[in-house]
C-alpha cells in the first residue's frame, strides 16, 4: 500500500539566544522549529531524475498541514455556521542545489511572521546537511460561507497561541496586503 508524503520522522528543535536586559546577558529560548523528512518520489522528478521545482511547493503545503496537525490544529476549522480556512496569498522558493529520486530531504518549518489576519511560514530544505532550497508561504485566515467569496478575519486567539512558540519575529510585526483589508 502506498502512502503519500512518506513521513519518516519529525521533531521539534529549540534554539537559544542571548539577550541583554540592562545587565548581564541572559539566555532565553528562540522560536521552536518543526522538523520532518520526505523521500523524493519518482512522480516528483523530471526526465533527468532531479526533483522538479514544482514539487517543493507541494512539499511545503504537506509539511504545513503536518505541522498544524502536530500542534492540534488544521487548515479547516468548523466555526458553527461558517468554516475557517487558510488560502495562500503568496508562495516563494529559492533553489540552491539538486536532489534526486529516493534522496531523503530534511525540512524545517518555522513561523516567520504573524499579522492580525495572516501567517508566513519559512521552509528550509536540506539533504545530508547540505542546503537545497528555502521557501516561504503566506496564508490568510478566512471565513468561508456557502455561496460567498472567502472573507479575511482576525486569527482567533486560540489558534495564534499554538503558533506563537514557532514564531521567529515578534507578534504583530508583519502585515501582508491581505491584512490591510
- The answer to whether residue 7 is domain-embedded is no
> Can you list the alpha helix ranges (DSSP code H) found in 71-172?
157-163
- The answer to whether residue 66 is domain-embedded is yes
pLDDT of the chain, 181 residues: tens digit per residue: 333 333 334 444 444 333 333 333 333 357 899 999 999 999 999 999 999 999 999 999 999 999 999 999 999 988 777 799 999 999 999 999 999 999 999 999 999 999 999 999 999 999 999 999 999 999 999 999 888 899 999 999 999 999 999 999 654 444 444 443 4
How far is residue 35 from each of residues 43, 53, 125, measured CA to CA in Å?
23, 21, 10
- For residue 31, the model assigns a pLDDT of 86
**CATH number, domain with residue 103:** 3.10.129.10
Q: Which residues contact 97 (CB under 8 A, 6 or more apart)?
A: 127, 130, 131, 132, 133
- For residue 29, the model assigns a pLDDT of 55
- The answer to whether residue 83 is domain-embedded is yes
- The answer to whether residue 147 is domain-embedded is yes
- The answer to whether residue 16 is domain-embedded is no
- The answer to whether residue 22 is domain-embedded is no
State the pTM of this model: 0.78
- For residue 174, the model assigns a pLDDT of 45
- The answer to whether residue 126 is domain-embedded is yes
Q: How many structural domains comprise the chain?
A: 1
66-87 in b/e burial notation, b at 16+ Cβ within 10 A? bbbeeeebeeeeeeeebebbbe
- The answer to whether residue 8 is domain-embedded is no
Domain limits for position 56: 28-166
Amino acid at each position: 500500500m502506498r502512502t503519500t508524503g512518506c513521513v519518516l520522522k519529525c521533531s521539534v528543535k529549540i534554539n537559544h539566544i542571548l539577550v541583554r536586559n540592562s545587565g548581564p546577558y541572559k539566555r532565553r529560548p528562540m522560536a521552536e522549529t518543526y522538523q520532518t523528512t520526505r523521500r523524493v518520489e519518482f512522480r516528483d522528478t523530471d526526465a533527468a531524475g532531479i526533483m522538479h521545482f514544482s514539487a517543493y511547493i507541494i512539499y511545503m503545503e504537506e509539511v504545513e498541514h503536518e505541522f498544524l496537525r502536530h500542534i492540534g490544529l488544521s487548515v479547516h476549522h468548523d466555526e458553527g455556521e461558517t468554516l475557517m480556512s487558510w488560502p495562500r496569498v503568496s508562495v516563494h522558493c529559492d533553489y540552491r542545489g539538486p536532489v534526486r529520486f529516493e534522496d531523503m530531504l530534511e525540512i524545517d518549518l518555522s513561523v516567520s511572521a504573524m499579522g492580525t489576519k495572516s501567517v508566513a511560514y519559512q521552509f528550509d530544505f536540506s539533504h545530508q546537511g547540505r542546503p537545497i532550497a528555502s521557501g516561504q508561504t503566506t496564508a490568510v485566515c478566512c471565513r468561508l460561507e456557502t455561496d460567498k467569496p472567502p472573507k479575511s478575519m482576525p486569527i482567533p486567539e486560540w489558534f495564534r497561541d499554538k503558533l506563537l512558540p514557532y514564531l521567529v519575529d515578534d507578534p504583530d510585526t508583519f502585515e501582508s496586503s491581505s491584512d490591510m483589508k
